[in-house]
Amino acid sequence: MAYQPRIKINEAIKTREVRVITSDGKNFGVMDSREALKKAQEMEMDLIEISPNSNPPIAKIMDYGKFQYEEKKKQKVAKAKAHVTETKVVQTKINTGEHDLSLKAKNMSKWLKEGNRIKLDLFLRGREKYMDFNFLKERINRVLHLVTEEYKIADGPKKSPKGLSMILEKK
Protein backbone atom coordinates (compact mmCIF):
# COMPACT_ATOMS: atom_id res chain seq x y z
CA MET A 1 0.00 0.00 0.00
CA ALA A 2 1.24 3.49 -0.84
CA TYR A 3 2.36 5.92 1.84
CA GLN A 4 -0.50 8.14 2.98
CA PRO A 5 0.34 11.46 4.67
CA ARG A 6 -1.34 11.89 8.05
CA ILE A 7 -4.26 14.29 7.84
CA LYS A 8 -4.27 17.03 10.46
CA ILE A 9 -7.56 17.98 12.09
CA ASN A 10 -8.62 20.66 14.58
CA GLU A 11 -5.83 21.47 17.09
CA ALA A 12 -3.23 19.47 15.12
CA ILE A 13 -3.17 22.23 12.47
CA LYS A 14 -0.16 24.33 13.55
CA THR A 15 0.06 26.88 10.72
CA ARG A 16 -0.77 30.49 11.53
CA GLU A 17 -3.16 31.08 8.62
CA VAL A 18 -5.37 28.80 6.55
CA ARG A 19 -7.67 29.25 3.57
CA VAL A 20 -11.06 27.99 4.75
CA ILE A 21 -13.80 26.37 2.68
CA THR A 22 -16.90 24.43 3.72
CA SER A 23 -18.07 21.00 2.58
CA ASP A 24 -20.66 22.61 0.28
CA GLY A 25 -17.96 24.75 -1.41
CA LYS A 26 -18.49 28.10 0.35
CA ASN A 27 -15.20 30.01 0.61
CA PHE A 28 -14.44 31.94 3.80
CA GLY A 29 -11.02 33.10 2.51
CA VAL A 30 -7.77 33.30 4.46
CA MET A 31 -8.26 33.27 8.25
CA ASP A 32 -6.22 32.81 11.41
CA SER A 33 -6.23 29.06 12.19
CA ARG A 34 -7.62 29.57 15.74
CA GLU A 35 -10.46 31.66 14.33
CA ALA A 36 -11.17 28.98 11.69
CA LEU A 37 -11.26 26.32 14.42
CA LYS A 38 -13.81 28.40 16.42
CA LYS A 39 -15.96 28.75 13.29
CA ALA A 40 -15.84 24.96 12.74
CA GLN A 41 -16.80 24.29 16.38
CA GLU A 42 -19.71 26.75 16.08
CA MET A 43 -20.95 24.72 13.10
CA GLU A 44 -20.38 21.48 15.11
CA MET A 45 -17.91 20.24 12.50
CA ASP A 46 -14.16 19.57 12.27
CA LEU A 47 -11.43 21.66 10.64
CA ILE A 48 -9.53 19.33 8.29
CA GLU A 49 -6.29 20.31 6.51
CA ILE A 50 -6.81 18.99 2.97
CA SER A 51 -3.94 20.70 1.13
CA PRO A 52 -0.97 21.29 3.46
CA ASN A 53 1.52 22.16 0.69
CA SER A 54 -0.34 25.16 -0.75
CA ASN A 55 0.35 28.68 0.48
CA PRO A 56 -1.55 29.24 2.76
CA PRO A 57 -2.69 25.65 3.50
CA ILE A 58 -6.30 24.84 2.61
CA ALA A 59 -8.58 23.62 5.39
CA LYS A 60 -12.12 22.34 5.03
CA ILE A 61 -14.92 22.59 7.57
CA MET A 62 -16.79 19.29 7.52
CA ASP A 63 -17.50 16.13 9.53
CA TYR A 64 -14.30 14.07 9.80
CA GLY A 65 -16.17 10.75 9.53
CA LYS A 66 -17.76 11.87 6.26
CA PHE A 67 -14.34 13.03 5.01
CA GLN A 68 -12.80 9.60 5.74
CA TYR A 69 -15.72 7.85 4.03
CA GLU A 70 -15.29 9.98 0.87
CA GLU A 71 -11.52 9.37 0.81
CA LYS A 72 -12.00 5.59 1.06
CA LYS A 73 -14.59 5.78 -1.71
CA LYS A 74 -12.15 7.70 -3.97
CA GLN A 75 -9.39 5.15 -3.30
CA LYS A 76 -11.73 2.26 -4.09
CA VAL A 77 -12.69 3.82 -7.44
CA ALA A 78 -9.02 4.51 -8.26
CA LYS A 79 -8.10 0.91 -7.42
CA ALA A 80 -10.88 -0.42 -9.64
CA LYS A 81 -9.66 1.69 -12.58
CA ALA A 82 -6.02 0.63 -12.19
CA HIS A 83 -5.04 -2.05 -14.72
CA VAL A 84 -2.28 -4.44 -13.73
CA THR A 85 -0.26 -5.73 -16.67
CA GLU A 86 0.23 -9.47 -16.56
CA THR A 87 2.84 -11.47 -18.42
CA LYS A 88 1.25 -14.48 -20.10
CA VAL A 89 3.48 -17.36 -21.17
CA VAL A 90 2.97 -19.27 -24.43
CA GLN A 91 5.11 -22.36 -25.14
CA THR A 92 5.62 -23.93 -28.52
CA LYS A 93 7.94 -26.64 -29.79
CA ILE A 94 9.77 -27.00 -33.08
CA ASN A 95 7.27 -29.49 -34.49
CA THR A 96 4.03 -27.94 -33.19
CA GLY A 97 1.25 -28.34 -35.78
CA GLU A 98 -0.36 -25.47 -37.69
CA HIS A 99 -3.75 -25.82 -35.97
CA ASP A 100 -2.15 -25.68 -32.50
CA LEU A 101 -0.11 -22.64 -33.56
CA SER A 102 -3.26 -20.86 -34.77
CA LEU A 103 -4.96 -21.52 -31.40
CA LYS A 104 -1.93 -20.15 -29.54
CA ALA A 105 -1.84 -17.11 -31.84
CA LYS A 106 -5.57 -16.52 -31.23
CA ASN A 107 -4.98 -16.51 -27.45
CA MET A 108 -1.96 -14.23 -27.87
CA SER A 109 -4.06 -11.78 -29.92
CA LYS A 110 -6.74 -11.77 -27.21
CA TRP A 111 -4.18 -11.14 -24.45
CA LEU A 112 -2.45 -8.38 -26.41
CA LYS A 113 -5.83 -6.70 -26.93
CA GLU A 114 -6.35 -6.77 -23.13
CA GLY A 115 -2.97 -5.04 -22.69
CA ASN A 116 -1.00 -7.98 -21.30
CA ARG A 117 2.62 -8.79 -22.14
CA ILE A 118 3.39 -12.17 -23.68
CA LYS A 119 6.47 -14.29 -23.17
CA LEU A 120 6.78 -16.64 -26.14
CA ASP A 121 8.97 -19.68 -25.41
CA LEU A 122 10.23 -22.05 -28.08
CA PHE A 123 10.76 -25.14 -25.92
CA LEU A 124 13.81 -27.13 -26.99
CA ARG A 125 14.72 -30.65 -25.88
CA GLY A 126 18.11 -32.35 -26.03
CA ARG A 127 19.87 -31.82 -29.36
CA GLU A 128 17.31 -29.23 -30.47
CA LYS A 129 19.13 -26.72 -28.25
CA TYR A 130 22.16 -26.81 -30.59
CA MET A 131 20.27 -26.23 -33.86
CA ASP A 132 20.93 -23.21 -36.11
CA PHE A 133 19.73 -19.98 -34.45
CA ASN A 134 18.14 -18.69 -37.69
CA PHE A 135 16.14 -21.93 -38.05
CA LEU A 136 14.87 -21.53 -34.47
CA LYS A 137 13.91 -17.88 -35.11
CA GLU A 138 11.97 -19.00 -38.19
CA ARG A 139 10.06 -21.47 -35.98
CA ILE A 140 9.06 -18.63 -33.63
CA ASN A 141 8.05 -16.46 -36.60
CA ARG A 142 5.54 -19.17 -37.66
CA VAL A 143 3.48 -18.21 -34.59
CA LEU A 144 4.06 -14.46 -34.90
CA HIS A 145 2.71 -14.40 -38.48
CA LEU A 146 -0.61 -15.74 -37.20
CA VAL A 147 -1.08 -13.05 -34.47
CA THR A 148 -3.78 -10.63 -35.63
CA GLU A 149 -3.27 -7.87 -33.01
CA GLU A 150 -0.63 -5.12 -33.46
CA TYR A 151 2.41 -5.84 -31.30
CA LYS A 152 6.01 -4.81 -30.77
CA ILE A 153 8.89 -6.99 -29.68
CA ALA A 154 9.99 -5.75 -26.24
CA ASP A 155 12.80 -8.29 -25.88
CA GLY A 156 14.03 -10.11 -28.98
CA PRO A 157 14.65 -13.83 -29.34
CA LYS A 158 17.26 -14.85 -26.80
CA LYS A 159 18.62 -18.17 -25.59
CA SER A 160 17.06 -19.21 -22.28
CA PRO A 161 17.37 -22.36 -20.15
CA LYS A 162 14.23 -23.80 -21.80
CA GLY A 163 15.26 -22.85 -25.33
CA LEU A 164 14.46 -19.53 -27.04
CA SER A 165 12.36 -16.74 -25.50
CA MET A 166 10.98 -13.39 -26.58
CA ILE A 167 8.61 -10.86 -25.05
CA LEU A 168 5.82 -9.10 -26.94
CA GLU A 169 3.82 -6.00 -25.96
CA LYS A 170 0.86 -4.15 -27.41
CA LYS A 171 1.88 -1.42 -29.84
HEC string of 92-159 equals EECCCCHHHHHHHHHHHHHHHHCCCEEEEEEECCHHHHHCCHHHHHHHHHHHHCCCCCCEEEEEEEEE
What pLDDT score was predicted for residue 160? 86
| Backbone φ, ψ for residue 157 (5° rounding) | -60, 120
Same CATH topology for 10-79 and 87-170? no
| Backbone φ, ψ for residue 31 (5° rounding) | -135, 165
Closest to 148 in 3D by CA, of 97, 95, 111: 111
Cβ-based burial of 105 (10 A; exposed 0-12, middle 13-18, buried ≥19): buried
Homologous superfamily in CATH for domain 87-170: Translation initiation factor 3 (IF-3), C-terminal domain (3.30.110.10)
What pLDDT score was predicted for residue 105? 93
Q: Is 52's pLDDT higher than 90?
A: no
Average pLDDT over residues 91-119: 91
Distance CA 102, CA 156 (A): 21
Cβ-based neighbour number of residue 53 at 10 Å: 7
pLDDT band at 3 (very low <50, low <70, confident <90, very high): low
Q: Work out the end-to-end distance of the chain between its first and last CA atoms, rounded to an integer number of angstroms.
A: 30
Cβ-based neighbour number of residue 35 at 10 Å: 13
What pLDDT score was predicted for residue 1? 47
Q: What's the angle, vertex CA 146, arms to CA 106 and CA 132, rounded to 5?
A: 120
Is 0.85 topped by the overall pTM? no
The DSSP 8-state label assigned to residue 160 in this structure reads: E
Element (H, E) at 89: strand 87-93
What pLDDT score was predicted for residue 4? 58
Q: Is 109's pLDDT higher than 60?
A: yes
Q: Is 36's pLDDT higher than 60?
A: yes
| Percentage of residues of the chain with pLDDT beyond 90 | 20
**Domain assignments of the chain as residue spans, ordered by start:** 10-79, 87-170
Closest to 18 in 3D by CA, of 6, 35, 5: 35
CATH code for the domain defined by 10-79: 3.10.20.80
What pLDDT score was predicted for residue 166? 92
* Mean of the per-residue pLDDT values of the chain: 86
pLDDT band at 2 (very low <50, low <70, confident <90, very high): low
- Helix (H) and strand (E) counts for the chain? 4, 8
